[in-house]
Structure 1
């Protein structure tokens, strides 16, 4: 394995000179710099990234914390951020927190020790004080953090209103909601949007709201039970697309036709919604833009630039597909 000493010998310079060229620190005249670069190329020398990170207090890596990597929503965000960060010379360390505060803290502490340059976090636990206690910049994705911590998300309550109003427009007269975890802010906001629309209806009751925990299997179970107990439900707004897929499964097991017997709409806009039968209507987030803009802001912070905005909200789009659009109005 080629060492820095080999490069110094090949270029007929000192090890310190090679180090200055590699780290772009200190003065090296152009002719000497060119000799060192040519020696590096001839010997195919690969600098020790760990040693460089210890020396420069940086690693050209970005930490990315997500709650559940098995949910296709999060890999889509990660991919968008990764595409931009790779172009800027950064690599991603992906961490799955399982919504556990202890795992989040452990990951952040390790990132601090490893001189990770910045962190993109999807967290429901981090506070402004915790974020500011770390030396590396942190931006929030999907779930805002209090205060002036940069965040990138959508208006979840408005999305809940949009989904529920659409079900009413196509003729649904009794609409249920499969909500996400109570401790997750965006799940609560989507639930509030649903209540904004139907809370004053004569048929509305708390029994129409069940917890699917952002999980397809759980949503299948609770939706099946709900539709059996209240067979006059003709519309379901699921708080995310994975739970909406669970509702489709529950309807299939109960031999209900979607959308003729019950219309279904989800939230997020993951690719799987176009691959189901019927295709799933959803409130779609601009996932590529959200992930990219978060990555861009983080790089700006790493490089010492000020952000013009800290709270960034992105527009939502109602995607009308087969799980709703062929329903006959009553």
Structure 2
């Protein structure tokens, strides 16, 4: 395999001149540039990315950290980030962290050694203190890591209030909540939105709130226990669509008809919500748009060395499907 030294010898120039031609960095006269390019073509030389990154101090690489790649929300989010980074000529690296701090720190260390240009992070365990030593831009996505860090999120609390208001509007009189993890800020805001709408109702019972851990199996078990203990519940707001699917499964196992006996609404708007039976009503995040926005903010900060904090909050949108729609039609008659 040809090396940069081979190219330099064939073109009768220094390796530094070859590097300047490859990286379009610094002046090289046209005649010399032509000889170098002809030598590269003749030798079929492929520039070493590591050497190039050391020369430029940059790798044209962006990393996205996600906590759980098995949750369909994150691959949909990753697709948007990948599309934008590729459009701007960056290599995209996806890191599944399991929200494990040691794993995240290992990734950060390894990628910094490869001169990664920036990070987009979905993390509930990292703090500004953990990341203060990072010398490249970071954008928090889906949840806020630090007020001093750029972030892209959605209106979790008000969107959740809208979800509960909708369940009330379709005739639900006993509404429960399957909540996400207590340490995840968007799960907390979604639970607060639920409580805003139900805490003053005379029927409200604190045991109507149970944890589903943003996980299908955990939500299914939680819903089975909840509906067995409280058969009067006729509406459930699940903190994400994956848990909403778990609720639908639990209802089917208990012989409850959805939406006639139980109306179910989720949060996220992942594609899976359209494919479950019955199809899941949801408060849909603009998943592609928030991923795209995070990538564009990061690339702008990389390109301009802009250290200013940018915060963007998108609105969620109610998408009615079969898990509530029939109940709505019945109630309106």
Normalised-by-shorter TM-score class: over 0.9
User: What is the CA distance between 1:145 and its match in structure 2?
Assistant: 2.1
CA contact (8 A) 2:159 2:315 kept: no
Segments of 5+ residues of structure 1 without an aligned counterpart are: none
**Other-structure match for 1:52:** 52
Q: Tell me the number of residue pairs that the alignment of Structure 1 and Structure 2 aligns.
A: 330
**Other-structure match for 2:281:** 281
Mapped partners of 1:98, 1:20: distance in 2:
41
Mapped partners of 2:305, 2:105: distance in 1:
27
Alignment of 1:14-93 (within 5 A): 14-93=14-93
**Other-structure match for 1:174:** 174
Mapped partners of 2:42, 2:95: distance in 1:
37
CA contact (8 A) 1:81 1:294 kept: yes
SS in 1 for 2:331: coil
What is the CA deviation profile of residues 226-249 of structure 1, one whole-angstrom value per residue up to 9, with x for unaligned ones? 111111110000000000000000
CA contact (8 A) 1:180 1:240 kept: yes
Mapped partners of 1:113, 1:2: distance in 2:
25
- CA RMSD, Structure 1 to Structure 2 (Å): 1.6
Alignment of 1:295-310 (within 5 A): 295-304=295-304, 306=306, 310=310
User: What is the CA distance between 1:54 and its match in structure 2?
Assistant: 2.3
The answer to whether the aligner puts 1:252 opposite 2:252 as a matched pair is: yes
Q: Which shifted more, 46-55 or 243-252?
A: 46-55
User: What is the CA distance between 1:309 and its match in structure 2?
Assistant: 6.2
Q: Which shifted more, 154-163 or 48-57?
A: 48-57
Mapped partners of 1:43, 1:87: distance in 2:
29
SS in 2 for 1:303: helix
CA contact (8 A) 1:235 1:263 kept: yes
**Other-structure match for 2:331:** 329
**Other-structure match for 1:241:** 241
CA contact (8 A) 1:148 1:310 kept: no
Mapped partners of 1:191, 1:63: distance in 2:
30
Question: Residues 282 and 307 (structure 1 numbering): CA distance in 2 closer, same or farther, change over 3 Å?
Answer: farther
Segments of 5+ residues of structure 2 without an aligned counterpart are: none
User: What is the CA distance between 1:7 and its match in structure 2?
Assistant: 2.1
Q: Which shifted more, 299-308 or 115-124?
A: 299-308
What is the CA deviation profile of residues 64-84 of structure 1, one whole-angstrom value per residue up to 9, with x for unaligned ones? 111101001011111101001
User: What is the CA distance between 1:308 and its match in structure 2?
Assistant: 7.6
SS in 2 for 1:326: helix
User: What is the CA distance between 1:270 and its match in structure 2?
Assistant: 0.3
What is the CA deviation profile of residues 3-29 of structure 1, one whole-angstrom value per residue up to 9, with x for unaligned ones? 223323443433332122113233211
Mapped partners of 1:307, 1:77: distance in 2:
24
SS in 1 for 2:5: helix
CA contact (8 A) 1:241 1:273 kept: yes
CA contact (8 A) 2:177 2:236 kept: yes
SS in 2 for 1:279: coil
User: What is the CA distance between 1:307 and its match in structure 2?
Assistant: 7.5
CA contact (8 A) 1:268 1:283 kept: yes
**Other-structure match for 1:3:** 3
State the TM-score, normalizing by the size of structure 2: 0.95
State the TM-score, normalizing by the size of structure 1: 0.96
Question: Residues 120 and 184 (structure 1 numbering): CA distance in 2 closer, same or farther, change over 3 Å?
Answer: same
User: What is the CA distance between 1:126 and its match in structure 2?
Assistant: 2.5
What is the CA deviation profile of residues 120-158 of structure 1, one whole-angstrom value per residue up to 9, with x for unaligned ones? 000112223433321111100001122231100101101
**Other-structure match for 1:135:** 135
User: What is the CA distance between 1:163 and its match in structure 2?
Assistant: 0.6
Alignment of 1:125-204 (within 5 A): 125-204=125-204
**Other-structure match for 1:261:** 261
